[in-house]
Chain A
Amino acid sequence: MFAYIIRRLWQIVPTMLGVILLIFFLFNVVGGDPAYLLAGKISNPEQIANIRKQLGIDEPYYIQLWIFFKQVVTFNFGQSWSTNEYVSSIFATRLPASLMIGIPLLILETIIAIGIALSVAYVRGSLTDRSVMVGCTIAQSISILVYIIVFQYVLAYKFGWFPVQGWGNGFFENLFKYSALPVLIALVVSLAPNIRLYRTFLLDEMNQDYVRTARAKGLTERRVMLLHVLRNASIPIITNLMIQLPGLLVGLFLIERFFSIPGIGREVILSVERSDFPVIKAITVYVALATMLANLAADLLYKAVDPRVELK
């Protein structure tokens, strides 16, 4: 087990180097000299000269790459080009808000999606099943933008049930007041694809022989579905959850933007708008790292869920 984790962590290294190379290629080679980009955005020529010096623009590419590599390893990306805030402090201050939306969303979404998927898979082929599936297909076809615009307008602006936008300082204030509507919208958007997916996973298991055996033994339907089917279907469900996990950090960018929530996703959009390269670079590199660690965690979870899985 321990050896397995070490080996997997070691395998992350070449991919991570590749990510660094790709980001470097994009921002330093394709992106070019920041002086052209920032002309007009930063009026102070000294500041631009400073940025160029930090990046080592006048040096050959391998030295620039080395500078970038050191930045990644030391978690020191310097300052944002537009706000002069330290990139590390941007991470520290934006992360809590993203998690405040992301974690409740993930918990609620998993419970509700599995619940609905279980009930429609159980009555598969029935009118309920088919209408839920048609509903999911249509719900999936509407842009997330429309959900946000309409929900924000109707529920917050017209009815006044939620604050239209904003973010407070208190933990409970944020959790129950400000993140309620964003979480609700994200939930509505993510439920449709997840219900469809989980239903497929469950149906795959329900056709297996062990389900018939369990019924033949005289187990209750509840026990068959919850203990036998769900446990076996949980491996693909966990994979799906783990794939979504790192995406939560940036995937809620539209919601964060609409509701003025100071999270990582909103920071990405702001940085793209301002051509604030250090911030985008840092977020991309570390989210990629988080993705790889999440994949590792998923593999470890398989073992916990299904003892038959052998970690190689």
Chain B
Amino acid sequence: MNTAVMNPSIGIERSPGLWSLAWKRLIADKIAVISLAIVILFLSLALASFVGLIAKGWNNEVGVNYAPPTWFKGSAPTEDLSKKQAVNPTGPSLDTGLAKPEFVNDRDPLRETVNELKQQLGQSAGANSVDEIKIVDPLADVIAELKKKLGRVGDEGEKETESTRLQTLAFGADKWGRSVFDKVVKGSETSITVGFAAAIVATLIGTFLGALAGYYGGKVDDALNWFYSIFNSIPYILLVLAIAAVLNKKGILTVVLILGLTGWASIFRVVRAEYIKHKARDYVRAANAIGASHSRRMFVHIFPNISHVVLVQLSLYVVIFIKSEVILSYLGFGVGVDTVSWGSMLNEAQNELILGYWWQLGAATLFMAILVTAFSLFTDALRDALDPKLK
């Protein structure tokens, strides 16, 4: 009973609705509050990184290659990292038993060809500029750029002054010396964007089709159920990979479309069942009596009454899609190379781990685990809060 009945002196008071009751139950749950706070923290991180407040320069090489995390300085794999880096930019070979043969690029076949050509032309051989090499190799300036990225300027082994680069970074640095912290924040932005956008796409499609099927029933229901059974019979990840193969394109939008277009089936089923239950209820018949159209009854009258189910499904989707995006990006079917995602970080980290550089793996794993755990716990709490009978 609501308070208005028990205290007539207060007068007419609105009885608390589903949402305010659910909210009260939610904030009474300690785990829910903590996980909600973590989710909000991640969302604001993603937003801050989106507008460029933080992690703007994730692509800049701010540290030495594989700079260790600051708090891990003492036990870094090699004491004198910077010196070794200068000699062997591919990273020092460690006692992992996988000593790579030292690759010293003394001989440059390109330059020899250029020199030969020059000699034929009667010019003096020697150091030649990028422009000259470009005559033979159209990619010369790209290679020069890459060499520069490796910490060398030009071809003469002239090292970029290491003093401008940091020896250690908060979360360490990757192969190119980019800050792992910036990357993991940028990766959070990508993963959260994809997770939420794909969840919204899937929810919109699934809710709309589920509403049609449940509300109209009959032939519409049969047709949509047939459509659903097609999507349901192909294992989710196989369908995702098949569409990735067909689209053959990378980028955030593609991933959102792939995940959203394939994932609508589970919400369809739930929403359809809710509409079947609600369409015969008195309030819908009353709406019919006052002349509400079909679409008005479906979306203005019934939808608010089932929206809590949709909300829970939506947050279930976010977790599933964040995990799927990581796998897609890891395999190289996800976001492009110009964006960083937790999946692409894991891909890089896999090779780094063998060399003993675990921090990129650690950072990506930690951030993903915290967000997904918090979001899953929040979803559970949300479901319990919205449907107390379930407990």
Residues of A within 8 A of B (CB): 14-15, 18-19, 21-23, 26-27, 30-31, 37, 137-138, 140-146, 149-150, 153, 157, 246-247, 249-251, 253-254, 268-269, 271-273, 275, 277, 280, 283-284, 287-288, 291-292
Contacts and interface: CB of A to CB of B under 8 A. Distances in A.
Contacts of A145: 326-327, 330, 343, 346
Given A142-B365, A287-B235, A153 B323 contact: no
Interface of B: 96, 226-227, 229-231, 233-235, 237-239, 241-248, 323, 326-327, 330-333, 342-343, 346, 349-350, 353-354, 361, 365, 368-373, 376-377
17 contacts: A15-B233, A23-B242, A27-B242, A30-B247, A138-B373, A141-B369, A141-B370, A142-B369, A145-B327, A272-B244, A273-B332, A277-B245, A283-B238, A284-B238, A287-B234, A288-B234, A292-B233
Given A280-B242, A284-B234, 18 more contacts: A15-B229, A22-B230, A26-B242, A31-B246, A137-B377, A141-B369, A141-B372, A141-B376, A142-B369, A149-B349, A150-B353, A153-B353, A250-B237, A253-B241, A272-B333, A280-B245, A291-B233, A291-B234
A104 to B, nearest CB: 20
B240 to A, nearest CB: 10
A174 B154 CA distance: 51
B235 A250 contact: yes
A30 B365 contact: no
Contact of A141 (B245, B350, B368): B368
A122 B268 CA distance: 35
B226 A149 contact: no
A149 B350 contact: yes
Contacts of B96: 157
B376 A137 contact: yes
A271 B333 CA distance: 12
A137 B149 CA distance: 41
A15 B226 contact: yes
A189 B303 CA distance: 37
Contacts of A287: 234-235, 238
Contact of A153 (B242, B332, B333, B354): B354
A108 to B, nearest CB: 21
Contacts of B247: 30
B347 to A, nearest CB: 8
A92 B336 CA distance: 35
B365 A26 contact: no
Contacts of A143: 323, 326-327, 342, 346, 365, 368
Nearest to A31: B246
Contacts of A268: 238, 241
Q: Taking each of B233, B323, B353, B373, which has the highest tally of chain A beta carbons within 10 Å of its own beta carbon? A: B233
Contacts of A250: 235, 237-238
A246 B235 contact: yes
A41 to B, nearest CB: 11
B101 to A, nearest CB: 19
Contact of A275 (B248, B327, B361): B248
A14 B225 CA distance: 11
Nearest to B98: A157
Nearest to A11: B229
Q: Taking each of A27, A141, A280, A291, which has the highest tally of chain B beta carbons within 10 Å of its own beta carbon? A: A141
Contact of B361 (A22, A26, A149): A149
Q: Taking each of A27, A145, A283, which has the highest tally of chain B beta carbons within 10 Å of its own beta carbon? A: A145
Given A141-B372, A284-B242, A251 B353 contact: no
Contacts of B331: 269, 272
A222 B333 CA distance: 50
B42 to A, nearest CB: 13
A287 B371 CA distance: 33
